[in-house]
Amino acid sequence: MTALPAAPVPSAAPAALIKVKGPAPYALHDLVLIPATAPEIIQKTWTNNMEEWAKGVPLEQYHAREQHLAATAFSSENRLITWILVPKADADVTEEYKTTAGDHGVRGGFDPKDVSKQNLERILGAVETYERPGIVATVGDETLHEVSSVSVASVYAPSKYRSHGYGKLMMRLLWKKIEDMGASFSFLYSDLGPDFYGNFGWTARTSTEIVILPSLTLPAPPSTASSAMTTRASARAIKLETVTEESLAALIEHDTQLLRTQLIKKLKERLNTTPPKKTTFVAVTPEVRCIQWLHARAWFNAKEIWKFQDPQMKDLTLGVYVAGTKDQFVLWHHDFTDDNLFILRWRIDSTATNEEADIIALAFVEAAQQEARKWRLSKIVFWNGHASLANLLGLKVKHRQHSIPSLGLIKSDQDTNNVEWVLNEKYSW
């Protein structure tokens, strides 16, 4: 591969990052959360959150990436909604704000059809939701319920409108909107610690990671393998195939079938405990289009922002799988912005012996290391990876304080401590 281009250099923090102290422009009772429909209004929310997430990417390219992602199957058919916190049409700013701001600052209510600069400045916060399929199963009920879930993303308030309670109000209103959508559960990834979103319904869940360096020397595969196992899975015998669009569909379909089997098994195991614990298991159903969305994000960043050439782009892979199988694979995502190769989904045959599983795991890690080195990504990150993998590699499982998975059941009286998120991995991000 030819030399890789340098990443964009982050620009200095914009003036908007400086908090504007003073009275709140609008009273909380004058605000509503509504879906944005006009393209110009949605684009304004992108412009607003650039101050936090653009990381040096110019406005034109930042908008182009968001438009590229909005056109994917994952975002189509009204699955993606951009919500905005705005003043009611007949609202006006507080007298205290009016006195302090003088002739400057915002005025009046919000018109959802008005795309003027003056009206767009009345957007006090924004958040995105994606409707996604899920599965819910509760001990005592042998039925697996195929349900709708809602993932929450891009929660953002312009810095000049912070410290007035607008963000908290937006999340309270959003929970009510999600209830009206008929979803069974909702989830998000918190960068505000484990407690903030818990006030509104999203309870923090397991948040660990295994970080693997591309330069890590891997241990030798287990040498205690039986002859039968050696023919099935050994360091030399394992043949890995690159995941293609065609094989991805088959892998995800089989993965979902195995997930259902796993949930039924969990129900039976928990029912047989003494006393039986009424646990509710939830899972975000793996989808081809969510993997494609993440790949589209990586592809756009690589080609349009980091300026990789077409011959290089062909090497932007989805992952690998053990040839001839559908239940042993690893999918990954190239996060060029944060310099990571993320493990999206990791599956090894549950019937494999420990030695077999270790050999396959080492093959997967080696493939991921090669991929990270190829794209000069500094580390491989596996969210909620099993401790056995960390032990195999001589690493530690770390607790992370960012992107904390948080989940809540909708219109449920189930104790949050009795809710278990199954397959809590990066693919659902």
Q: What is the pLDDT of residue 314?
A: 84
76/73 Cα distance (integer angstroms): 5
Q: Average pLDDT for residues 388-404, to the nearest whole number?
A: 97
Q: Average pLDDT for residues 146-168, to the nearest whole number?
A: 97
Distinct helix (H) and strand (E) counts, the chain: 11, 16
What mean pLDDT value characterizes the chain? 92
Q: What is the pLDDT of residue 223?
A: 67
Q: What is the pLDDT of residue 309?
A: 86
Q: Which segments of 329-396 are extended strands (E)?
A: 329-335, 340-347, 379-383
Domain ranges of the chain: 16-130+150-182, 208-428
DSSP code, position 8:
P
If residue 367 lies in a helix (H) or strand (E), which one and from where to where?
helix 354-374
- What's the pLDDT tens digit per position in 62-110? 999 999 999 999 999 999 999 999 999 999 999 999 999 988 899 999 9
Concatenated DSSP letters for 228-281?
Answer: HHHHHS-TTT--EEE--HHHHHHHHHHHHHHHHHHHHHHHHHHHTSSSPP--EE
Q: Average pLDDT for residues 391-399, to the nearest whole number?
A: 98
Q: Average pLDDT for residues 174-194, to the nearest whole number?
A: 98
Give the Cα-Cα-Cα angle 31, 42, 122 (nearest 5 degrees): 35
CA 49 to chain centre: 17
Q: What is the pLDDT of residue 300?
A: 96
Kindly state the tokens that stand for 227.
């002859």
Q: What is the pLDDT of residue 222?
A: 80
Q: What is the pLDDT of residue 15?
A: 35
**Backbone φ, ψ for residue 125 (5° rounding):** -175, 165
If residue 186 lies in a helix (H) or strand (E), which one and from where to where?
strand 185-190
The answer, yes or no, to whether residue 185 has pLDDT greater than 50, is yes
3-state helix, strand, coil in the chain (%, to 5): 35, 20, 40
Written as one letter, the residue type at 123 is: I
Kindly state the tokens that stand for 104.
């400057």
- What's the pLDDT tens digit per position in 1-38? 444 444 444 333 333 334 456 899 999 999 999 999 99
- What's the pLDDT tens digit per position in 121-137? 999 999 999 999 999 99
Cβ atoms within 10 Å, residue 14: 11
SS3 sequence of 396-414:
CCEECCCCEEEEEECCCCC
The answer, yes or no, to whether residue 232 has pLDDT greater than 50, is no
Cβ atoms within 10 Å, residue 1: 11
Residue pair 333/298 in contact by the 8 Å Cβ criterion: yes
The answer, yes or no, to whether residue 277 has pLDDT greater than 90, is no
pTM of the model: 0.91
Concatenated DSSP letters for 108-158?
Answer: S---TT--SHHHHTT--EEEEEEEEEEEEEETT--PPEEEEEEEEEEEE--
* CA nearest neighbour of 120 among 132, 141, 106: 106
What residue has token string 């349009």?
304
The residues that bridge with 34 in the sheet, in sequence order, are 84
391/58 Cα distance (integer angstroms): 42
Q: Average pLDDT for residues 388-393, to the nearest whole number?
A: 98
48 or 234, higher pLDDT? 48
SS3 42: helix
The answer, yes or no, to whether residue 59 has pLDDT greater than 80, is yes
- Is domain 16-130+150-182 in CATH 3.30.70, yes or no? no
The answer, yes or no, to whether residue 403 has pLDDT greater than 70, is yes
Kindly state the tokens that stand for 152.
């929450």
* CA nearest neighbour of 291 among 245, 340, 323, 256: 245
Written as one letter, the residue type at 152 is: V
307 or 407, higher pLDDT? 407
Query: What's the pLDDT band for 274 if we cut at 50, 70, 90?
Result: confident
385 burial class (0-12, 13-18, 19+ CB within 10 angstroms)? buried
Q: Average pLDDT for residues 392-417, to the nearest whole number?
A: 97
- What's the pLDDT tens digit per position in 200-217? 999 999 999 999 999 999
